[in-house]
């Protein structure tokens, strides 16, 4: 690589010819084909590369659950490129696939949501289903207003990539919002955020997707001559999903997901005697997510509360005690008091389905995001969600609770296994997370009955 390029020459050549520093006798700047490959970014952006490589963005086109579901949607319902347009957009743009069923033939570096895809977005033409327009060129767009010149690529500032602008949420949000081919608004992360406090123009309230999901730290944006410390942004994007096969940083990813979830929901547990007998009230509030909890793939998530009552050491009553290998949907039939969160979708005959691409209706039970900080604000909506249990026992001596979430239901994975589309080992690798701050114990004599709306 040439180490000293005249800045203007670099930018000019990069913009008009698609590569940089050809005037140098050393090797030329990266060609478009090289820029498409995240491996070429590693030389100077090792940290960004490593974080991205361990993210679900990198994994999106290799995820065995995606491959299984996509094949089903293509074969049974003819969805064509609908899924792969979001999960491996560069593979479609470069003409390597038309429906994602041949991902094993697609060069590895075009699978998933790649560096080149995000860093060449120049416009957003819609509200959902990945309406992003790429430049097709060789200039890497980002949030740096004064990027140090480098011989590999031209750089430029773009408000769509700057986490401090509201419009940056459109770059993320419109891919995180799905209207399925039959017109149902199945994933609503972007529209939930738009309805929340965080999308308001008031800078004291505003939080874009990247302000929460791309945590800043001081570091080097590139390991390259002349680059000094500045604010850089995390690319590991933990949410709820995890890699279920051997994948770089899989363990670190689970830890990050656990931390993310720990910061998302606050819980309160109240136990008291009333006219009906013994009441256990669990209140949950979404305090950390800028959209509903869970969000996005809420049809696939299984989130529920486990409550156990004890008399001394003996368990006298429980709800939500789902076994690690047990499907929540099966368990639910045995527990009429189960406190469960998530979306349920229906097919055209009104039956519950797992095929979100074909669903014609849905019911939603999620923890909403805040709409205003103060109850005095006319936009304020109370976002506490209360669940009341009645216990057929005397006042127990001790009651415990915890909120749990499984990224994807074992019923859904089991169905794909039964159809021969997914390996049993993938289903068996599905973890269940417990949100640390929601692990609460109440014991007799702890004090007055609590007000579930006051934390
Ligand atoms: C030869 C080293 C080198 C290689 C290879 C390289 N970059 Fe860079 N890149 C840099 C330098 C230097 C900067 C500027 C850093 C600074 O100013 O702090 C930069 C900046 C960037 C920016 C920020 C632009 C802005 O204005 O905000 C992005 C995005 C970027 N690179 C993406 C990539 C991607 C994607 C690849 C792989 C296709 C890549 N880079 C390959 C050296 C490199
Ligand atoms: C091309 C469409 C696309 C764009 C643009 C995009 N994402 Fe994603 N994102 C995805 C897909 C697809 C997945 C899930 C991959 C999987 O689970 O297999 C994902 C996963 C995630 C996850 C992890 C979710 C989970 O449950 O584990 C987070 C967080 C996330 N994206 C945030 C963002 C943010 C913030 C931005 C903007 C900087 C962004 N995304 C831009 C498509 C996109
Ligand atoms: C899901 C979209 C997305 C993907 C994929 C992605 N980036 Fe970024 N990246 C961003 C956004 C958004 C920013 C700007 C954050 C800001 O400044 O507010 C950014 C910033 C950067 C920067 C500037 C320094 C910083 O940390 O702000 C570099 C360099 C960079 N990315 C390199 C890469 C490389 C290399 C890859 C692939 C290995 C990659 N990015 C993949 C969205 C993405
Ligand atoms: C106020 C901070 C905040 C903002 C703003 C925010 N998020 Fe999140 N997000 C979180 C937290 C915390 C979680 C983990 C808990 C959860 O799953 O909801 C999360 C989870 C997610 C998930 C996984 C959700 C699931 O349950 O499957 C996705 C995808 C995601 N965010 C994307 C986005 C996008 C896209 C935006 C912008 C439109 C955004 N986030 C804005 C904090 C935020
Ligand atoms: C508009 C972009 C978009 C389209 C279209 C899309 N996805 Fe996704 N997909 C996402 C995003 C974003 C996530 C992460 C959602 C979250 O974490 O809440 C995701 C997550 C997933 C996951 C893993 C998470 C989970 O538990 O569901 C699977 C599997 C998946 N999608 C399959 C599909 C299939 C199959 C199709 C087509 C029928 C499809 N997707 C269409 C954006 C898209």
Q: Which two tokens stand for residue 88?
A: 């491996």
Contact predicate 139/122, CB 8 Å:
no
The rounded Å distance from CA 33 to ligand 2 centre is 24
Please count the other Cβ atoms lying within 10 Å of the Cβ belonging to residue 171.
23
pLDDT number for residue 453: 56
The rounded Å distance from CA 112 to ligand 2 centre is 10
pLDDT number for residue 15: 41
Dihedral of CA atoms 139, 145, 150, 153 in degrees, nearest 10, equals -10
d(CA 132, CA 138): 17
Exposure string for 17-26, b = 16+ CB within 10 A, e = fewer? ebbbbbebee
Phi-psi region of 312 (alpha: psi -120 to 50; beta: other; left: phi over 0): left
pLDDT number for residue 7: 39
pLDDT number for residue 452: 57
Which residue minimizes the CA distance to atom 3 of ligand 4?
A: 290
Location of structure tokens 């999903």:
241
Location of structure tokens 């990027």:
147
Nearest to 170 by CA among 185, 188, 190: 190
Contact predicate 267/403, CB 8 Å:
yes
Contact predicate 124/160, CB 8 Å:
yes
Location of structure tokens 């279920």:
244
CA dihedral sign, ordered 74, 77, 78, 84: negative
d(CA 56, CA 213): 13
pLDDT number for residue 201: 87
Ligand 1 pocket, 142 CB below 6 A? yes
User: 323: burial class by Cβ within 10 Å (0-12, 13-18, 19+)?
Assistant: exposed
* Cα R_g (the chain), whole angstroms: 25
Q: Which two tokens stand for residue 113?
A: 């949501």
Q: Which two tokens stand for residue 168?
A: 């940056």
Ligand 4 pocket, 190 CB below 6 A? yes
Contact predicate 410/300, CB 8 Å:
no
pLDDT number for residue 60: 98
d(CA 192, CA 445): 41
pLDDT in tens, 214-233: 999 999 999 999 999 999 99
d(CA 67, CA 415): 14
CA dihedral sign, ordered 240, 246, 247, 251: positive
Contact predicate 97/103, CB 8 Å:
yes
User: 165: burial class by Cβ within 10 Å (0-12, 13-18, 19+)?
Assistant: middle
Which residue minimizes the CA distance to atom 9 of ligand 3?
A: 142
Q: Among 186, 297, 427, which residue has the most ligand 5 atoms within 8 Å of its CB, making it the best to mutate? A: 297
pLDDT number for residue 454: 53
The rounded Å distance from CA 412 to ligand 2 centre is 21
Ligand 5 pocket, 239 CB below 6 A? yes
Which residue ranges in the chain fall short of pLDDT 70? 1-28, 447-449, 451-455
Which residue minimizes the CA distance to atom 37 of ligand 2?
A: 172
């Amino acid at each position: 690589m040439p180490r000293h390029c005249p800045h203007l020459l670099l930018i000019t050549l990069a913009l008009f010819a698609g590569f940089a520093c050809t005037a140098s006798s050393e090797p030329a700047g990266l060609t478009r084909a090289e820029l498409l490959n995240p491996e070429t970014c590693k030389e100077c952006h090792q940290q960004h590369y490593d974080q991205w490589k361990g993210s679900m963005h990198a994994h999106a086109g290799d995820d065995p659950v995606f491959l299984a579901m996509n094949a089903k949607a293509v074969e049974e319902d003819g969805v064509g490129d609908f899924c792969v347009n979001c999960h491996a957009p560069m593979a479609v743009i470069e003409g390597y696939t038309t429906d994602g069923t041949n991902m094993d033939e697609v060069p590895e570096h075009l699978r998933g949501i790649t560096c080149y895809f995000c860093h060449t977005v120049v416009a957003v033409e819609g509200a959902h289903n990945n309406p992003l327009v790429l430049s097709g060129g060789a200039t890497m767009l980002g949030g740096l207003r004064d990027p140090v010149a480098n011989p590999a690529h031209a750089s430029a500032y773009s408000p769509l990539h700057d986490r401090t602008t509201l419009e940056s949420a459109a770059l993320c949000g419109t891919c995180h919002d799905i209207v399925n081919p039959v017109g149902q608004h199945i994933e609503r992360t972007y529209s939930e955020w738009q309805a929340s406090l965080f999308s308001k123009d008031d800078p004291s309230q505003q939080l874009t997707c990247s302000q929460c999901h791309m945590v800043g730290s001081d570091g080097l944006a590139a390991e390259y001559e002349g680059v000094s410390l500045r604010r850089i942004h995390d690319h590991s994007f933990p949410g709820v999903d995890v890699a279920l096969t051997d994948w770089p940083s899989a363990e670190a990813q689970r830890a990050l997901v656990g931390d993310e979830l720990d910061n998302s929901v606050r819980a309160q547990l109240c136990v008291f005697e009333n006219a009906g007998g013994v009441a256990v009230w669990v209140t949950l509030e979404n305090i950390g997510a800028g959209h509903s909890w869970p969000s996005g793939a809420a049809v696939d998530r299984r989130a529920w509360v486990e409550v156990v009552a004890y008399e001394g050491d003996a368990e006298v009553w429980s709800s939500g005690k789902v076994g690690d290998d047990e499907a929540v949907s099966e368990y639910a039939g045995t527990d009429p008091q189960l406190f469960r969160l998530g979306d349920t979708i229906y097919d055209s005959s009104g039956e519950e389905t797992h095929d979100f691409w074909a669903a014609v209706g849905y019911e939603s039970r999620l923890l909403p995001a805040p709409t205003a900080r103060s109850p005095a604000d006319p936009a304020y909506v109370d976002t506490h969600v209360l669940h009341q249990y009645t216990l057929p026992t005397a006042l127990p001596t001790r009651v415990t609770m915890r909120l749990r979430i499984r990224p994807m239901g074992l019923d859904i994975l089991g169905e794909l296994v039964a159809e021969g589309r997914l390996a049993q080992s993938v289903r068996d690798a599905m973890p269940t997370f417990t949100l640390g701050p929601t692990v609460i114990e109440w014991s007799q004599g702890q004090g007055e009955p609590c007000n579930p709306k006051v934390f």
